[in-house]
A and B are shown apart, each in its own frame.
Chain A
Amino acid sequence: MTEPRRQGLPLIRLRGVERLYGQGDARVVALGGIDLDVWPGEFVALMGPSGSGKSTTMNILGCLDTPTRGSYRLGDVEVTELDNDGRALLRRHTLGFVFQGFHLLPRVTAQENVELPLVYQGVPAHERRLRAREALAQVGLAGREHHVPSELSGGQQQRVAIARAIVARPKVLLADEPTGNLDTARSHEIMALITRFNRERHLTIVMVTHEPDIAAYAQRVVHFRDGHIERIEDTGEAA
């Protein structure tokens, strides 16, 4: 198996993470206390039916949501102890996001979309331009820098989103159903791209999907059910 990859300390460490919504009788348990470790350089898929807790887990991992109880360590930071700004800075420097709906800024060119994380990092304009061009080239969109999203196909838009997610050199890429809006051929192209970043850069990837053939790109698949982790499956996919 791929046990040798899981050496040293995990990059992501969830312990007893609960997420509750509402009060009293209206209380809904979205996550009922989960433990999960993700080691550096791993590619993990989260699967499960809707309402199983995978998206909640993703939001917590992405520092967009906070657990009601439990501990989330990212690297050597206890995320549950951070305030809003602290979490924003983690998103800025450590995390990259890819969404199902691409979520590019409309009316802004591909180049400027990719530059955006660097703007918040305070990278000077000249360096921003170079790094954004480089990132676009890496996702195979050299020459499309000045297209706005509406001039690009779905697959191309998702590539721009991936370029934007990796341009700031995050430690973790969080992909929320990255192929959900794409046809099969386009989906596999995107997955090939994501896998390449995982292998070549040892970029840690956590991906939510409900398609087994997409989950198969990951090394481990975490199955959710009713707010709990049902089982964790090694796909045997080589790192």
Chain B
Amino acid sequence: MLGNALREAIRSLGRNALRSFLTVLGIVIGVGAVIAMVTLGRGATQAVSDQISSLGSNIVFLRPSRGFGPGQNVVPFKVEDALAIAREVPGVAWSTPVSLRTLTVVAGNQSWSTTVVGAGEGYLEARRWEIIKGRGFTPSELRAGVASCIVGQTVARELFGNEDPIGQRMRVDKFSCEIIGLLDAKGQSAMGTDQDDIVLIPLRTYQRRISGTTDVDSIQLSLADGVDNERVLEDIRLVLRERRHLSANMEDNFRLIDSKEIERTLTSTTRMLTVLLGAVAGISLLVGGIGIMNIMLVSVTERTREIGIRLAIGARAADVMLQFLVEAVVLALLGGAIGITLALVFSLVAAQKLGFPFSPDYGIVLIAALFSGAIGIVFGFFPARRAARLDPIEALRHE
């Protein structure tokens, strides 16, 4: 019975193909908007979180800041602070002091302005960054502060083009160093900066040749997997407060920024956008549903005599109801299917253009399909009931 109703519904809709299509346009747009939005939203979120995790997972930045109150100066970190955190706080995988400055580097007749980072021990590990060519600094090189450097992909390309940078010499600010390693590509950061535009030198070298002090700008930490972040962050805070001689009534004069927090901010922005556009999609689905109801009412009127014939032949009210309900559901599902298809194609193209990953949520696709079916049932119910309640004699007489 259902199979027949289905076949008849498809045929009856096929007879009025243009009308059917126009009717479902509202659903097409509604479902399409939802799917396109969710797909692109997920792509964007994923792009952002990929970038964040490319910083390293469970990354925490520590920066000195000015505490509140009079006479408070910025107290810089020392290398010792990073070591103390690694030593005293369980759950910290790596703790590395980092200083950086934008400087011009020169090789041959090429020059390039880039970020020069003074990296302590564990810098690459904390950022989960690999060297794909050459080697990293040895502990003794780090301690000695040798004139060696590791370059990022962008710097290598700008200075040496297709040439192998390993073993070449490069001038950083006022000193010359030998390139010993090439970093893996990391791409853009969440903030849109090129993470591969970087030169690493030992922190000791940086302090001696560039900054001239033993201060460090920041400390980068990476937490071990599966630890309670809140607790570890609190422990780090306590260790730093003690080291920085803060009494109980004084504010922190440093900031902890963890990557989870950055991610949360970004995803909540995307989510809000999704909710907003979801409301728009909801309205167009409602309009689409009303369109289906309208056209089904027209269809019931047009086919009154057919309904009469069916009733005379032995259709029960429920059979007629089912027939029109199935037709409404097929119509709505058709709209949903068109909407889903268009949205996926659109998202695929848009994702490529915007450089997001194409990341459809098939759960949402399924929900959208079920939802459009539900729209068919809800908005098809009233017309179907009207058809089922027709008086067979009146219906047969209808021209």
Contact = CB atoms under 8 A, between A and B. Distances in A.
B319 A103 contact: no
Given A88-B317, A104-B309, A117-B313, 9 more contacts: A64-B396, A93-B314, A95-B314, A99-B396, A103-B308, A116-B313, A120-B313, A120-B319, A121-B314
Nearest to A99: B396
Nearest to A59: B393
A230 to B, nearest CB: 24
Nearest to B392: A64
A116 B306 CA distance: 12
A65 B316 contact: no
Contacts of A95: 314
Contacts of B318: 85
B317 A84 contact: yes
A91 B313 contact: yes
Interface in A99-129: 99, 103-105, 107, 116-117, 119-122
Given A99-B396, A107-B15, A120-B319, A62 B314 contact: no
Interface string A152-177: 00000000000010001000000000
B316 A105 contact: no
Contacts of B311: 64, 88, 91
Contacts of A121: 314
23 contacts: A59-B393, A62-B312, A64-B311, A64-B393, A65-B393, A84-B316, A84-B317, A88-B315, A88-B317, A91-B311, A91-B313, A91-B314, A92-B315, A93-B314, A97-B313, A103-B305, A103-B312, A105-B306, A116-B313, A120-B1, A120-B310, A120-B319, A121-B314
B310 A116 contact: yes
Nearest to A103: B309
Most buried by A among B1, B309, B314, B318: B314
Contacts of B319: 88, 120
Most buried by A among B312, B313, B317, B396: B313
A28 interface: no
Nearest to B309: A103
Interface in B313-328: 313-319
Nearest to A176: B396
A92 B313 CA distance: 6
A28 B68 CA distance: 97
Interface residues of B, number: 20
A123 B305 CA distance: 24
A20 to B, nearest CB: 15
A80 B2 CA distance: 30
B140 interface: no
B4 interface: yes
A177 B396 CA distance: 14
Kindly list the 4 A-B residue pairs having the minimum CB-CB distance in the complex, ordered from nearest: A92-B314, A88-B316, A91-B314, A120-B314
The number of chain A residues touching the other chain, given as a range, is: 20 to 34
A89 B314 contact: yes
B9 to A, nearest CB: 14
A75 to B, nearest CB: 16
Given A85-B318, A91-B312, A119 B4 contact: yes
A17 B397 CA distance: 23
A116 B1 CA distance: 11
Given A65-B393, A99-B396, A119-B4, A105 B314 contact: no
Contacts of B15: 107
Interface string B1-43: 1001000000000010000000000000000000000000000
Nearest to B1: A122
A99 B319 CA distance: 22
Nearest to A117: B313
Nearest to B306: A105
Contact of B315 (A107, A120, A122): A120
Interface in B344-399: 392-393, 396
A89 B311 CA distance: 10
Contacts of A119: 1, 4
Nearest to A165: B313
A85 B308 CA distance: 15
Interface in A68-93: 84-85, 88-89, 91-93
A121 B308 CA distance: 17
Contacts of A62: 312
A95 B315 CA distance: 12
A92 B311 CA distance: 9
Most buried by B among A99, A103, A119: A119
A99 B310 CA distance: 13
Contacts of B309: 103-105
A185 to B, nearest CB: 27
Contacts of A91: 311-314
Most buried by A among B1, B312, B396: B312
A42 B309 CA distance: 25
Nearest to A113: B309
Nearest to A94: B314
A103 B396 contact: yes
B318 to A, nearest CB: 7
A194 to B, nearest CB: 18
Contacts of B1: 119-120, 122
Nearest to B394: A64
Nearest to B317: A84
Nearest to A106: B306
Contacts of A97: 312-313
Most buried by A among B1, B4, B305: B4
